[in-house]
Every structure is written in C-alpha cells, then in structure tokens.
Amino acid sequence: MKKVWTESAPANIALIKYMGKIPGQGNRPTNASLSYTLEHLRSYVQLEAIDGEVDQWQALPAIDGKHLVTLELSEKSKQRFLQHLTSVRQGMSASTQAFLVRSGNDFPSDCGLASSASSFAALTKAAVRAICELREIKLPSIHTLSELSRQGSGSSCRSFFSPWSVWRDDGAREVPELSHLTNLHHMVVVVEEEKKFVSSSEAHRRVTSSLLFNGRVDRAEFRLRELLQALQLGDWSTATEVTWAEFWDMHALFETSRPSFGYMTARSIEVLRMVRAELWRNGLGPLVTMDAGANIHLLFNDDSLGRDSFASAQRMFATNDLRVIVSTM
Ligand code: PMV
C-alpha cells in the first residue's frame, strides 16, 4: 500500500495586522503582528509519493469520514501551492521525489478568512514529515516549521502556535502571557461573497505608496504593546478600542495607496455601525476586525457577559437578514 502523510493546521485571525513586506526578503513583515488561532477552522493536506518528478494537486473531498469544502484552485493558486512544496524540498536538500498533494478546508472559502494561512501551514507540516520519514531524519522544531511556512505564505507562520501567536522579526512564537485567554468565540458577518479583486500580495506592495505608511510601523508596535497589556489584565474595553483602530488603520492604508483600492462595502460600514451602537454599549462587546476583505470578524470572550453579547449579536444579525458563520459554541 502507498504511504500517505496527512496533516492539518488551523486558520488564524490577526488583531494587529501584518500589512507591508520588507522588499526583497520574501515574506518578511515591516511590523509585528498578533493573531488568535481559530482551532475550529482547519485545512487538511495529504501527500502521497508518486512516480515521476512533477508534483500534482487534487481537491481533498473528505477526511476520516468528515466532508470538506471542495476546493477549486485557479491554475495560479495551484502553482503557488506546489511551488511551496518545491521550496520546502529544496530548503531541506531533499530528493526530487514527486508527490500527489490533496488539500481541503473544513470551512467555507467565502467566509472572509484567507485559507492560505491554514493550507500553507498544513502543507509545510505534511511535506516536512514526509521528507523526514523518507530520509530517516529527525523532525525539525516547530519554529523551523513556522519559518519554512512563512516563505510560502506570511500569515501561515502564526498558525503553528495557539491560542495566540505573535510574529516579530525573529519569527512567530506562542504568547505565554495570554495562554489563559482561550475559547474565544468567533463569528464572521458575511456581507460579500465575491472573490477579492486585489490580492493580499498586491495589497502588501501597494500600501507602501500611501503617505500614511510613514509611522505605520510605530503605530502597529504601539498598539501591539497596548493590546498585549490589555488582554493580559483582562481590560476588554481597551482591547476592543485598540483592535478597532488597528483594522481601520490598515483599511485607511488601502484607501490612500496610489493607486487606491479598498474592500469595505456600504454593508460592511452598516454592520460596523450596528456593532458599535448595539453590542459595545457596556464596553463588553466583541473584538472587531476585518482582513483584506469586506466581511467582519467578531471575537467574543468566553465568560457570561461574552456569551450574552454573542447571543445578542446572533439575534441582531438575524433580524437584519445578515448571514453569519460561527466557528465555535
Ligand atoms: O499572508 P498574506 O500575504 O495573505 O497576508 C495576510 C494579511 C492580512 O490577512 C490582511 C493581515 C494578517 O495579518 O493576517
């Protein structure tokens, strides 16, 4: 029987955003970022050794009897994914053994979550394990795995650590001072299901043309310190303010780039206004963030106030005919 290596990795949502890369250094961020790991939203990757020297890709429809969302990758995305396998192999000076790569996600691709973080992390884990077993060598550390993954997709390097991950110049790490803050409940308000017209790679390039990019690194670093302290002290209200300002900062960079672009729609703004007016009333509402897309991500604390707020949000969005995707609870 043919040997198959299967691995999975979770998605993550950044509260301090990675936006902007240091030119010519692969996916090296201009500023540090902080994310919460979404353990319930996972990508699965299977590798099977095949004859020949050319890797192949197929959608993975199910894993252990569980259905996955059938992926339809464009030719460009397929090539980018397989190119990462080639880079991992080269990075480990491994033979040119070809693999059939199958991949799938257990979450919809229209929920505003880039599946590139979870899928590149899962591919890195599967590729490294396969290569190490075939070469009978020891598995590298999780930090090495994360660094290898970063070269394929920047934000994927954070998916190796949980429940929180911080990515600085020297790579991503767990955040021991926030290890108590777990079981946050994640909700996405889906206002837009179309594919984005400016990719995040292009966004990383363009934001540096904005005059607001001056000072961006300092603002992100300042907010990172503020947010870490607020979360550590249980100061949820400050955490909501910092997180809110941070995603607006990133979206302002998009809008003030030359040429400018943007992802927010009228509906996104409407939802943001609703969240601020209705859910933040006691300073106990969710952390709010948006990625390079129009959908709104909410993270609720796992205490009785957080659960109440979660229930109010569900009622409010249902009344307003807004579709939500809930990944826990
Ligand atoms: O990893 P990339 O190149 O897809 O960049 C992701 C960037 C954001 O999702 C917008 C922010 C982040 O930190 O995840």
Q: pLDDT tens for residues 168-192?
A: 999 999 999 999 999 999 999 999 8
Q: What's the average model confidence in pLDDT over 150-155?
A: 96
- Which 3 state secondary structure label does DSSP give 34? strand
Under the banding of pLDDT at 50, 70 and 90, the label for residue 7 is very high
| Predicted confidence band of residue 294 (pLDDT cuts 50, 70, 90) | very high
Q: Between these two residues, 194 and 216, which has the higher pLDDT value?
A: 216
- pLDDT attached to residue 110: 60
Q: What's the rounded mean pLDDT across residues 150-178?
A: 97
Phi–psi pair at 105, nearest 5 degrees: -120, 150
Q: Where residue 79 falls among pLDDT bands split at 50, 70, 90?
A: very high
pLDDT at 25 over 80: no
pLDDT score for 158: 98
State the Cα–Cα distance between residues 28 and 325, nearest whole angstrom: 31
- DSSP per residue, 152-169: H-GGGGGGGS-SEEEEET
Arithmetic mean of pLDDT, 104-112: 78
Average pLDDT of the residues in 188-205: 86
pLDDT at 222 exceeding the cut of 70: yes
pLDDT confidence of residue 1: 66
Amino acid (one-letter) located at 250: M
Residue list, ligand 1 pocket, CB within 6 Å: 14, 17-19, 33, 114, 116, 153-155, 200-201, 204, 291-292
Beta bridge partners of 323: 190
Task: Place 112 in a pLDDT band, splitting at 50, 70 and 90.
Answer: low
d(CA 274, CA 290): 15
200 C-alpha to center of ligand 1: Å?
6
What amino acid is encoded at 83 in this protein? Q
Q: What are phi and psi of 9, to 5 degrees?
A: -150, 150
Q: What is the dihedral of CA 235, 239, 241, 244, to 10 degrees?
A: -160
| For residue 9, pLDDT beyond 60 | yes
Q: State pTM to two decimals.
A: 0.95
Binned at pLDDT 50, 70 and 90, residue 93 comes out as confident
**Quick one: average pLDDT of 104-133?**
88
Residue 22 alpha carbon to ligand 1 centre in Å:
14
Give tens-digit pLDDT for 302-324.
988 899 999 999 999 999 999 99
Per residue in 27-71, pLDDT tens?
999 999 999 999 989 999 999 999 988 999 999 999 988 899 888
DSSP letter, residue 137: -
**HSE-CB of 1 using CA atoms within 13 angstroms:** 3
Q: Within a 10 A sphere around the Cβ of 25, how many other Cβ atoms?
A: 8
Parallel, antiparallel or unpaired: strands 323-326 and 185-190: antiparallel
To test the pocket of ligand 1, the residue of 17, 18, 263 to mutate (highest count of ligand atoms within 8 Å of its CB) is: 18
* Residues near 180 by beta carbon (within 8 Å), at least 6 away in sequence: none
Summary mean pLDDT of the chain: 93
Beta strands in 71-179 (DSSP E): 98-105, 164-168, 171-174
Residue, of 198 and 208, whose pLDDT is higher? 208
> What pLDDT is recorded for position 91?
87
Q: Which atom, in ligand 1's list, is nearest to the CA of 17? A: 13
Tell me the three-class secondary structure of 167-200, residue by residue. Answer: EECCEEEECHHHCCCCCCEEEEEECCCCCCCCCH
Instruction: Name, of 194-208, 216-230, 274-288, the range with top average pLDDT.
Output: 216-230
Spatial CA neighbour of 16 closest among 300, 198, 244: 244
The number of the ligand 1 atom at minimal distance from the alpha carbon of 154 is: 1
Structure tokens of 297?
A: 């991500």
153 CA: nearest ligand 1 atom: 1
In angstroms, rounded to a whole number, what is the distance separating the alpha carbons of residues 84 and 88? Answer: 6
Determine the angle formed by the axes of helices 116-135 and 142-152, rounding to 10 degrees. Answer: 120
- Quote the CA–CA distance of 184 and 289 in Å, as a whole number: 14
Q: How far is the CA of 254 from the centre of ligand 1 (A)?
A: 13
For the cut 60, the answer to whether the pLDDT of residue 329 exceeds it is: no
Percent of the chain with pLDDT over 70: 97
Separation of CA 311 from chain center: 25
Whether the upstream peptide bond of residue 10 has omega within 30° of 0, thus cis, is no
pLDDT at 270 over 90: yes
Give the contacts of 290 (CB within 8 A, at least 6 positions apart): 112, 247, 250, 251, 263, 264, 268, 296, 297
